[in-house]
Amino acid sequence: MTENGPAERGRSLVVRTVSELRERRAAIRRAEHRVGVVPTMGALHEGHLALIRAAAEENDEVVVSIFVNPTQFNDAADLDAYPRTEDRDVELAQAAGATLLFVPSAAEMYPVGFATSVHVGGVSERWEGATRGASHFDGVALVVTKLLVSVGADSAYFGQKDAQQVAVVRRLAADLNLPTTITALPTVRDVDGLALSSRNARLGTGDREAALSLSRSLQRARDLVAAGERDTALLAAEARRILQDAGAAIEYWAIVDPATFEPLAEVVAGALGIVAARVGPVRLIDNAPLA
């Protein structure tokens, strides 16, 4: 702790709640700069740049991290094939408002002797957690914790494109009392509806139609809900048919609670449609609120 400065005099030495601790932390903070962080794995596209622009609007400093985090990949081939375009990324990030880029090596993040894990229970277990392996969200939780703590971030920006990741990070930030506001921003899409993803670059020319079936299946579910349908089993069956007809290999299509990612039997306010499918060599995910 710091020595008692003017702001500290007359206040009790002992605080017993996290919110009191935060108040003290705020009172003794010397620099008044707000710091926002945007964690990425690089290969930046408009989805990432939207996060950086939002961070630049709300903060004095914007730290963008570029780190292809090996601990969140369950598939070594996927890790190897992940696009790496650092020089271009640095330029794009700066033009969008980044004031600092953090581009660590794997050895910098996980030096010899590293032995700590961060596991978020419950919300991380199904869907992405089940299909990519339990270690996926452990890797995400670990690297996000390290980044937010290292940066001392006031706020952190994530894309709703990875909706379950947002839910895991919100749970993590709440459970560990991280002093960082978590903001999720809407999915940025191509004009035809395909959610932007660094992985889209690996789609073959004939794969576009199949890739579009993800967003179309979600739109179909939204339309059915708008017309009064509430039965999630029926909605999922209808949506799956769209993917199958387009030749996409479904990993899951479900309707879930947006905070817990537990499946819902009936569509209620906030219900989220989520989908993962393979198209050619590429694994794609998408989601949309249905009500």
Q: Could you give the dihedral angle defined by the CA atoms of residues 109, 115, 121 and 127, in that order, rounded to the nearest 10 degrees?
A: 60
The closest residue (CB) to ligand AMP is: 159
Residue 72 binds to ligand AMP (criterion: CB under 6 A): no
Q: What is the DSSP letter of 201?
A: G
Residue 89 found at the interface with ligand AMP (CB under 6 A)? no
Q: Which of 159, 182, 255, 256 binds ligand AMP (CB under 6 A)?
A: 159
Backbone angles phi, psi at 181, to 5 degrees: -80, 130
Rule CB under 6 A: choose which of 71, 124, 145, 198 binds ligand AMP: 198
Q: Which of 162, 182, 200, 217 binds ligand AMP (CB under 6 A)?
A: 162
Per rule CB under 6 A, is residue 146 in the interface with ligand AMP? no
Q: Please answer whether residues 168 and 145 qualify as being in contact, where contact means their C-beta atoms are separated by less than 8 angstroms.
A: no
Under rule CB under 6 A, how many of the chain's residues touch ligand AMP? 16
| Number of residues in the chain | 291
Contacting ligand AMP (CB under 6 A), which of 37, 51, 214, 256? 51
Regarding 200 and contact with ligand AMP (CB under 6 A), the answer is no
Asked about 48 being catalytic, the answer comes back as yes
Q: How far is the CB of 40 from ligand AMP (least distance, A)?
A: 4
Q: How far, in Å, CA of 9 to CA of 151, rounded?
A: 29
- Maximum distance among all Cα pairs of the chain, rounded to whole angstroms: 70
- The CA distances from residue 65 to 24, 93, 123, 180, 221, in Å, are 29, 10, 25, 16, 35
> Is residue 47 a contact residue for ligand AMP (CB under 6 A)?
yes
Round to whole Å and give the CA distance between 43 and 66. 9
Catalytic residue among 33, 45, 48, 136: 48
Question: Starting at the edge strand that comes first in sequence, how are the strands of the sheet with 61-66 ordered?
Answer: 100-102, 61-66, 35-40, 155-159, 181-185
Q: How far is the CB of 61 from ligand AMP (least distance, A)?
A: 18
Active-site residue numbers? 48
Could you list the residues that contact ligand AMP (CB under 6 A)? 40-41, 47-48, 50-51, 158-159, 161-162, 187-188, 195-198
